[in-house]
Amino acid sequence: MKVIADLHIHSRYSRACSTALSIANLEKWARVKGVNLLGTGDFTHPEWIKELKSTLFDDGTGIYKTKSGFPFMLTTEVSSIYSQDDKGRRVHNVIFAPSLEVVSQITEYFKSKGRVDYDGRPIFKISCRDLIYDLRKISDKIEVIPAHIWTPWFSLFGSNSGFDTLKDAFGDQTQHINALETGMSSDPEMNWRLSQLDGKKLVSFSDSHSFWPWRLGREATIFEMKELTYNNILKSLRGDSGITSTIEVDPGYGKYHIDGHRNCSVEMEPEDAIKHNNICPVCKKPLTLGVAHRVEELADRKLGFKPKNALPFQKIIPLSEILAKAIGKNIATKSVWAVYNKLIESFKSEYNVLLNVSKNNLLKQTPVKIAELIMLNREGLLKVKPGFDGVYGEIVLDSNVKKSNLDNFENELSSNQKSLGKFI
């Protein structure tokens, strides 16, 4: 069976997250997106774990399901903030657990180190090495995956708080790191340039703070297995097979791809930042160095190198972003939702629209220019103005892909708006 998994998400109990996040909304929008396995996120939080226990049911596989049968896996993210080698470190790690019993033990462990009730993504003064060592004493079926490994502020290789090597961070526990999350601002091709990552799985998840389809499932990992079980997910991460590919956004779409200062409206490619000694020309303070810059610093291979047995990946921008750019409206407007809903009603899920539906079939439901943008997106040919210093990248429509003329679609718009309630 094919499993499209988004295993790094959050609940409404994490900071800067939608207050409407619930298991019901996550299930609803995962089905619309085309994701068929979600992480629970935030399992250490006392209120969220109550909701998980009351809405999800264990069938003995380590995968917990809703009453209607949608599967979730027990996951959370923690923030390690500590000092090592005379430098402050801030690293996020995602944790997978095989059962509620193990979750309870993990939570008790973290409670011995600090509080778990103030944030769904709690902070502890625990080194990356000790985190692995201590959790493996609880269960060797706990999996830890370094999260969004390149972002500047809270990640394994982050320019402001990270390390230069896996071993620097995890020490004698490095062997137990089987997979790393590339994050939105990098893709596998960028990570292939580091020989130290050879033999490690590169996975992608959304780190979503809401259930909306331009956030949930914007990145995902595709597994192939006979039966969906926690053990089979674990075998896929730790073994030589089981993961077939990943879905990535264009790394320029991420919030930290190139260097810059948001408040100064300064953005620079790494080579330009180096010419300025990594100093902002406006405020004269250090630039926030993005992922592209940091990869260049640590890479020991040239761009274009591809390791043996490297997994394929596809770069896809969320459908709502494409429609908003084509229509010239904000992403959550009725005009955008009307077109989105029509496509989902016709073709079942967003991933099906983005990855599978033929251009001829798209043209039966949407204007030519939107169909063209969807096809360019599928081929990885959409141009993206890169993000920097916390600002998302955005699609750029050049002279060959002008803003869509929706005149022929206006007659359908009002009738589509009647069905908006089906999804929103």
Tracing tokens 């406006």 back to the chain, one arrives at 282
Look at residue 173 and tell me if it is in a domain. Answer: yes
Shared-domain flag, residues 248 and 332: no
Q: Which of 197, 165, 180 is nearest to 84 (CA)?
A: 165
How far apart CA 211 and CA 155 sit, in angstroms, is 24
Give the model's pLDDT for residue 421.
55
How far apart CA 62 and CA 39 sit, in angstroms, is 12
How far apart CA 364 and CA 368 sit, in angstroms, is 9
Tracing tokens 């944790």 back to the chain, one arrives at 95
How far apart CA 297 and CA 410 sit, in angstroms, is 51
Domain boundary, last residue among 253, 272, 307? 253
**Inter-axis angle of helices 46-55 and 100-111, nearest 10:** 170
Q: Name the phi and psi angles at 196, rounded to 5.
A: -65, -15
Give the model's pLDDT for residue 417.
47
Shared-domain flag, residues 15 and 159: yes
Shared-domain flag, residues 237 and 338: no
Q: Which of 351, 271, 307 is nearest to 34 (CA)?
A: 351
Look at residue 177 and tell me if it is in a domain. Answer: yes
How far apart CA 120 and CA 143 sit, in angstroms, is 18
Shared-domain flag, residues 91 and 233: yes
Shared-domain flag, residues 325 and 186: no
Shared-domain flag, residues 234 and 334: no
DSSP 180: E
DSSP 116: S
Look at residue 298 and tell me if it is in a domain. Answer: no
Look at residue 287 and tell me if it is in a domain. Answer: no
pTM: 0.94
Contact 49, 55 (CB under 8 A): no
Look at residue 230 and tell me if it is in a domain. Answer: yes
Give the model's pLDDT for residue 156.
98
Contact 89, 168 (CB under 8 A): no
Shared-domain flag, residues 28 and 150: yes
- Which residue range is the domain that position 356 belongs to? 319-422
Three-class SS state of 376: helix
How far apart CA 122 and CA 93 sit, in angstroms, is 11
Shared-domain flag, residues 328 and 239: no
99 burial via Cβ count (<10 Å: 0-12, 13-18, 19+): middle
Look at residue 289 and tell me if it is in a domain. Answer: no
Give the model's pLDDT for residue 422.
65
Q: Name the phi and psi angles at 124, rounded to 5.
A: -140, 150
Shared-domain flag, residues 243 and 332: no
Look at residue 53 and tell me if it is in a domain. Answer: yes
Shared-domain flag, residues 107 and 216: yes
Q: Name the phi and psi angles at 252, rounded to 5.
A: -65, -20
Look at residue 13 and tell me if it is in a domain. Answer: yes
Q: Count of alpha carbons within 13 Å of 194, Cβ hemisphere only?
A: 25
| Structural domain count, the chain | 2
347-to-351, 355, 365, 375, 402 alpha-carbon distances in Å: 9, 11, 10, 15, 25
CATH number for the domain spanning 208: value is 3.20.20.140
Chunked into runs of 10 residues, the chain (424 residues) has average pLDDT values of 98 97 98 98 98 96 98 98 97 98 98 98 98 98 98 96 97 98 98 98 98 98 98 97 97 98 97 97 97 98 94 97 96 96 98 98 95 96 96 83 49 49 64
Domain boundary, last residue among 253, 275, 291? 253
Shared-domain flag, residues 222 and 345: no
How far apart CA 296 and CA 56 sit, in angstroms, is 44
Shared-domain flag, residues 31 and 171: yes
401-to-10, 315, 319, 366 alpha-carbon distances in Å: 36, 18, 16, 16
Domain boundary, last residue among 233, 253, 273? 253
The amino acid present at 341, given as its one-letter code, is N
